[in-house]
Every structure is written in structure tokens, then in C-alpha cells.
């Protein structure tokens, strides 16, 4: 008899416990254990058949103990044989990933877990665009530093923040130099340096994101042409997509791309509409001027 000692259980090549004696008696009555289940408690020199500890229980007759191939196991009070499993709790297996997400689920594969990924800035690119308009472009200057700061978290070698800062200094200096002389070569070169540093910083961030997210088994596709034309807004669309993947594990739907080309067509459409209105009005104005001149000539 266990004499009040808590009991370890060995079943199906797994050890669990320790459990109180009254719980084990209840589970024996519920037929949860087979005749090959072994048990051990403090004071026993080796594992023994469970039912030999409870001969009065309503259980199957115990099997003879398995042959000992080595010295008997001796346990002390500090022993913790294996992982535990409580038989009064239902085992819960992780939900299988969807087919589209299986290659990207970092929980089911080697490498860092997506929960370890720093949270990307998840503001929708449309809101970034709107705030940029409302702040007369100031938000577009500030937000790239937020994006670059996140990239620095996932890639410690990233120099994007430095390049953005140097580029900002260049364009401010260029504006100051050009204020006194519109044709200043130095002012033009400083402004050109700003644009070069700006694009190099964004393409550097794109490369860092691709390399770092590959470790999380999330392939990131950032188109160079789209990035060139839409820098801040296109990259933000990617970051919002990554933020959703981090929260849900789903990579669908894919990050936006076609929406940016539609956005590029909006100014063209507006210009075409204005031209359709302005050209006939101008032609009518010219005709009236000619008619007035003709009357004065008579």
C-alpha cells in the first residue's frame, strides 16, 4: 500500500505524476489503467505493477513484473520521473495549420517563433497617405523613421535610420543654400543626395525584411518598381501584412500591390477630366475673341 505517499504512473512509455492515492484509486475504478501499467512511490526500490499496490481494487489481475535487465531504479524525494500528464485533464493538441499557411507557421517548424518577432508598425498605408496629406507632408517625413526603427530591431546591422537622418539634413541644407541662389549647384547636389539616400534606405530596409523574415519561414516579396514609386506607402502595406501574420499566423490575403498602381492612375484620371473640361472652354473663349475682333474690324 502507498501509505499516503504520492504515486508516479508509467503507462504507454510515459511517466506522469505524482498523484494522490485517492485519485489513483478513482481512476482505477474508472478503468483508466491497463494491467501493464507500472507505478512507483517513495520507499519502493523499483517500479511495480500498479494493481499490486491496490489488490482490493476492482481491477484486472496484475501481470508479473517485467524482467529487470539492469540494476533496480532507486528514487529519492527529489526525483521527477519525466513529464507529467493529469488523467483528469483532456490532452489538447495544437490545431493544424491551414494548407496555405503551413509553410509559414513558425510554431510548427524550426527557427524562431513568430511570437518572438517585434511587432511591426501596423497603421494601414491608406491612413499613412491621408495623414501625410493632412499634415502637408510632415507625416511622410516622420513615418519612415518609425519603419526604419522596426527594421533595426530585426536586423541590427541596418543603417536605414542613419541614411534617412543624413538625407534629411541634406535636403534642409540644400533648401537653405538655394534660398539665396536658386541656381546654386551645391543646393541642387544636396537635394539630389537626399533622394539618393532616401531610396538607398528603403531598398536597404526591403532587403533586411526579406532576410530576417526568411528565418521565420515567411517569404516576403517586395517589388522593386513598386517600392521605387511608392516607398513609404508600399513598405507600410508590407509591414501591416507582417503584423497580421504575427497576430494570426495567416499569410492570406497577400500584401497590397495593385492598389498602388491604381493610386498612380488617379492623378492621370483627374488631369484627363480637367483637360476634358478646360479644352472645350478654351476653344469657346478663342472663338468669342475672334468674333469680337472681327466685329471691331468691320
Alpha-carbon span 154 to 208, nearest angstrom? 8
Cβ of 26: how many Cβ atoms within 10 Å? 14
Q: Let me know: does 57 contact 28? Beta carbons within 8 Å.
A: yes
Q: CB under 8 Å to 30, separation ≥6 — which residues?
A: none
pTM of the model: 0.54
3-state helix, strand, coil in the chain (%, to 5): 55, 5, 40
CATH of 1-91, one of 3.30.450, 3.30.1490, 1.10.3470, 3.30.70: 3.30.1490
Q: Quickly tell me which residue has 506607402 as its cell.
A: 233
Per-residue pLDDT tens listing for the chain (298 residues):
566 778 888 877 778 878 888 888 888 888 888 778 888 888 888 888 888 887 765 444 444 555 544 444 444 434 434 443 333 333 333 444 444 444 444 334 456 888 889 999 999 999 999 999 999 999 999 999 999 999 999 999 999 999 999 999 999 999 898 887 877 899 899 999 999 999 999 999 999 999 999 988 888 999 999 899 899 999 999 999 999 999 998 888 888 876 665 555 556 656 766 777 878 878 888 888 878 888 876 5
Amino acid at each position: 500500500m502507498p501509505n499516503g505517499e504520492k504515486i508516479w504512473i508509467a503507462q504507454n512509455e510515459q511517466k506522469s505524476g505524482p498523484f494522490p492515492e485517492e485519485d489513483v484509486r478513482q481512476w482505477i475504478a474508472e478503468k483508466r489503467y491497463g494491467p501493464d501499467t507500472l507505478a512507483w512511490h517513495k520507499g519502493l526500490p523499483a517500479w511495480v505493477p500498479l494493481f499490486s499496490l491496490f489488490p482490493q481494487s476492482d481491477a484486472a489481475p496484475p501481470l508479473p513484473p517485467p524482467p529487470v535487465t539492469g540494476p533496480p531504479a532507486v528514487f529519492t524525494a527529489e526525483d521527477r520521473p519525466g513529464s507529467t500528464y493529469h488523467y483528469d485533464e483532456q490532452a489538447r493538441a495544437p490545431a493544424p495549420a491551414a494548407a496555405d499557411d503551413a509553410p509559414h507557421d513558425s510554431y510548427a517548424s524550426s527557427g524562431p517563433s513568430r511570437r518572438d518577432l517585434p511587432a511591426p508598425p501596423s497603421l494601414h498605408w491608406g491612413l499613412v497617405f491621408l495623414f501625410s496629406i493632412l499634415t502637408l507632408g510632415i507625416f511622410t517625413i516622420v513615418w519612415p523613421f518609425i519603419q526604419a526603427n522596426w527594421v533595426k530591431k530585426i536586423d541590427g546591422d541596418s543603417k536605414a535610420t542613419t541614411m534617412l537622418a543624413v538625407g534629411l539634413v541634406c535636403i534642409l541644407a540644400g533648401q537653405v543654400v538655394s534660398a539665396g541662389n536658386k541656381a546654386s549647384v551645391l543646393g541642387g547636389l544636396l537635394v539630389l543626395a537626399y533622394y539618393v539616400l532616401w531610396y538607398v534606405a528603403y531598398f536597404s530596409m526591403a532587403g533586411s525584411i526579406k532576410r530576417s523574415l526568411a528565418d521565420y519561414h515567411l517569404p516576403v516579396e517586395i517589388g522593386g518598381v513598386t517600392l521605387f514609386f511608392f516607398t513609404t506607402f508600399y513598405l507600410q502595406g508590407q509591414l501591416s501584412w507582417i503584423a497580421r501574420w504575427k497576430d494570426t499566423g495567416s499569410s492570406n490575403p497577400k500584401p497590397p500591390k495593385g492598389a498602388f498602381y491604381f493610386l498612380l492612375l488617379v492623378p492621370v484620371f483627374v488631369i484627363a477630366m480637367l483637360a476634358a473640361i478646360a479644352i472645350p472652354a478654351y476653344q469657346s473663349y478663342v472663338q468669342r475673341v475672334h468674333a469680337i475682333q472681327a466685329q471691331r474690324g468691320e
